[in-house]
Structure 1
């Protein structure tokens, strides 16, 4: 088969479409013939040599895909050759085929094509596990989602609104904030010229955000704690603003706040399967009834993976950038 390889870490042109050995499904895995995959910032880090795949995972980038089951490995039940699926991956989505643990498969939602389906697994699993399974966002509460126009942000807005929460977002342009508003965001903050702490507290009558979904890490740690409501929960899922910061424990204690930090890629198979099962139960019905939808900015052929990386690196997109095989 062919796959996007990274012979040497570097810029977007380090991505090389090359012939590689076909994957073989192991016990409990299925072989998926990939139709589409989507670009995540983790892929950019892997290309640069900063984010190696977990032990045993495919060496090729790509944390999600959509396609059809080509073969079943030993011990797999509940799926059949030819089923249309999308999948959460530890790697290998930028390829013509990938072996996937059966617990990380999802059926393609009714009414969606392969491009839209490929844009779902990573964002739905990330948002549902952090905002709902860990931070327990409830109806009537306020969620602050940083990077509201990203793939994660556009999904967080929709899922929070679907459960009856209020949503605040940050983004870097009026156009991106307008797209967030179209998806249901209530409080719009341009981080280039507005203080999100002040804006969120003002919009909530001084209370603050009950849950914050953060992609920035160190740079936003102190202001995030300031923006938290009493009993607020801060979920950190990215380190775009650095990995080390000083935490004012006194401020956190006064608010009875909680800080969690998680990644998805390296979790044990059983944990990922539990998240995928929860997404299928709670999120898939919202997608199939039209309440929630994947936001696809554009679709490019796999041969243009380098250009897709440039687009995501420049943050010139809204939602997900999808690659087709």
Structure 2
């Protein structure tokens, strides 16, 4: 089968489309012919050699994909050949075929085509699972860093659907306007003193929950931005892995810091998260309360261009590789 090959760690230029063995489903797995593959920042980290897949899983890039069931393992009960599915993967999405455990597949939302759906599940699962960890509730203030990206765009709308006040940061007026169009109540340029701007906009309250993609670079500022009892959830490390944490400030606020990775969770947890997405998020999309992100569709053979676009930092919304 055709797959995107990473011969050695490096920039987008190391990506090549070549041949790889077609995976065979184990008894509890499903083989899917790929229609679209979501492109995520985790893929860039893996391409650079900084985010290896869990032991025993595919070395091929790709944490989410959509497609049509080709074959099923002997113990699979839910799926049949010909079913349209969306998958949450530990790897393997940048290929003509992929395999996934039965519980990590869900049908696409009604009214959403398979290409758009190929960039939905990892984003939705990331946001929903982490808001569950943080215990976000109606009436609270949620701050989302990177609001113009795929995760940010979804998180803004999910927070609004939950009845929260949503603040976000982004790096240009174009991106800030994108955030406002998708429901952000407070949109702040991160080149400014965004902590002070957040405090002013919330009458000194700050963020009850903060969803962070930056890591070390923003750690101290994030803690400063928390309200009393606030919860910081770190899901990305674009700003580095080692930072300084003011424990005195965190203690004074009765705050907490969580760091999670969806990719390394056990299969049973991932299956539970996928069920939660299908039961709680898909209806919000079908009702129009959450809109799918603006997307850039790029042919599968041009995976290198997709990574160049995401590396460049100017993209708004989601990038999806479309298979022939």
TM interval, short-chain normalised: over 0.9
Q: Give, in whole Å, the separation in 2 of the partners of 1:293 and 1:13.
A: 33
**Equivalent-residue separation in structure 2 for 1:63 and 1:83 (angstroms):** 20
Match of 2:269 among 268, 271, 281: 271
Give the Å deviation of 1:27: 2.0
1:46 aligns with 2:34: no
Q: Contact (CA 8 Å) 1:214, 1:235: kept in 2 or not?
A: yes
Shift of 1:166: 0.7
TM-score, normalising length from structure 2? 0.98
Task: Please list, as runs of the form range in 1=range in 2, the aligned pairs for 1:178-217 lying within 5 A after superposition.
Answer: 178-192=177-191, 194-217=192-215
- Can you give the 5+ residue segments of structure 2 that lack an aligned partner in the other structure? none
Give the CA deviation at 1:296.
Answer: 3.3
For residues 141 and 116 of structure 1, the distance between their equivalents in structure 2, rounded to whole angstroms, comes to 30
The corresponding residue for 1:152 is: 151
- State how far apart, in whole Å, the 1-side matches of 2:293 and 2:119 are: 8
User: 8 Å contact 2:116–2:295 — kept in the other structure?
Assistant: no
More deviation, 274-283/230-239 = 274-283
Deviation, structure 1 residue 138: 0.9
Are the aligned partners of 1:116 and 1:296 in contact in 2 as well (CA < 8 Å)?
A: no
Is the partner of 1:271 in helix, strand or coil?
helix
Q: Which moved more, 1:275-284 or 1:165-174?
A: 275-284
Pairwise CA distance, 1:136: 1.2
Aligned partner of 1:30 in structure 2 is: 30
Q: Whole-Å Cα distance in 2 between the matches of residues 246 and 45 of structure 1? A: 23
SS in 1 for 2:138: coil
- Residue 33 (structure 1) shift: 0.5
Spell out structure 1 runs of 4+ moving beyond 2 A.
Answer: none
TM-score, normalization by structure 1: 0.98
Q: Paired residue for 1:173?
A: 172
Q: How many residues align?
A: 323
Preserved CA contact (<8 Å) 2:145 2:213: yes
- CA positional deviation for 1:293: 2.3
Deviations 1:234-254 (A, max 9, x none): 000011111111211111111
Distance 2:27 2:127 in 1: 29
Structure 2 CA distance for aligned equivalents of residues 85 and 129 of structure 1: 20
- What is the CA distance between 1:275 and its match in structure 2? 1.1
Gapped regions of structure 1 (runs ≥ 5): none
- Note the alpha carbon deviations across 1:149-170, whole angstroms, 9 max, x for none: 0111000001000111011000
Write the deviation string for residues 258-310 of structure 1: whole angstroms up to 9, x where unpaired.
11000111111111111111111111110111111221331010111001001
What CA distance in whole angstroms lies between the structure 2 residues aligned with 1:95 and 1:32?
10
Counterpart for residue 68 of structure 1? 68
Residues of 1 paired with 2:145 and 2:211: CA distance?
6
Aligned partner of 2:59 in structure 1 is 59
Partners in 2 of 1:156 and 1:123 — Cα distance?
9
Q: d(CA) in 1 for partners of 2:178 and 2:288? A: 18
2:133 is the counterpart of 1:134: yes
RMSD: 0.8
Paired with 2:152 and 2:246, the residues of 1 have a C-alpha distance of 27
The alpha carbon displacement at 1:191 in A equals: 0.9
